[in-house]
Chain A
C-alpha cells in the first residue's frame, strides 16, 4: 500500500525558508517511472502544482516560483524534501506531496500539512 506523509513546521515567519519532508512507503522513490510531486492549496482554492522529482533525479518546477523552490530526494530514507525560500503570507496553504507512478499522475496523495506564514 502506497502512503506518503508530509511534515514540517506549521508556522513560519516572513522571509524564512520553509522545509518540508515527504516520507514515502509502499514504493521506492528511485524505482523506474516513479516521481514525487508537491502541491499546495490555499483555503477554499484549487491545488497549485509546485515541483516534481523523478526517479532519475530529473526535476521540474513551476516557473513562477522556480527561483525560490528546491526539490531533492534521499533514496536511503525514501524521502523527498521541498524547500521554499523567502516565505510570505500569501504562501499560507496546505502543502501536499503525491506519488507519480508510471502513467498515473499524482496517483496517491499524502494527508497534507497546513503551513501558516505570519510574524
Chain B
C-alpha cells in the first residue's frame, strides 16, 4: 500500500498568520497524464470530512482562496495564507492513484 505521512501532526496557529502542512507519499503520485493524485480534506470537530483540494492543486467548490495545494511526485503541501478561527480541525491528505486509496494520519490544527 502507498503510505502517506504528514507533518506536523499538531499545529497550533495564530489567527491571521500563515500555516503549512506537509504530506509525503511512499510512491510517486504523478500520473502519466500530468496530474498528481493527491487530495486534501478537512474534518472540523464533530463533522464529516470535506474536500478542500483535489489533484494536488485544485480548490474544491466553495473553498476559500486562502487555501492552496502544491507539490509533485512524492512531496505535497497545503498552505493557508491567513488562518481563520473556522479553519480548526484535522487535515488529511489522501492518495487516489493506487488501490487502496490511503489517507495520511492527519494534522490537528488548533488556535494558540
Contacts and interface: CB of A to CB of B under 8 A. Distances in A.
A98 B48 CA distance: 10
A-side binding surface: helix, strand, loop or mixed?
Answer: strand
Contacts of A103: 54-55, 58
B96 A105 contact: yes
Task: Give chain B's interface residue range (CB within 8 Å of chain A).
Answer: 20 to 34
A47 B103 contact: yes
Interface of A: 46-49, 52, 60, 62-64, 96, 98, 103-112
From B41, B49, B50, residue with most partner A Cβ within 10 Å: B49
Interface of B: 39, 41, 48-51, 54-55, 58, 60-61, 92, 94, 96, 99-106
Nearest to B105: A46
A47 B92 contact: yes
Contacts of B102: 49
Contact of B94 (A105, A111, A112): A105
A11 to B, nearest CB: 21
Given A46-B104, A49-B94, A104-B58, 19 more contacts: A46-B103, A46-B105, A46-B106, A47-B103, A62-B100, A62-B101, A63-B100, A98-B49, A103-B58, A104-B51, A105-B39, A105-B94, A106-B41, A106-B49, A106-B94, A109-B48, A109-B49, A109-B50, A110-B48
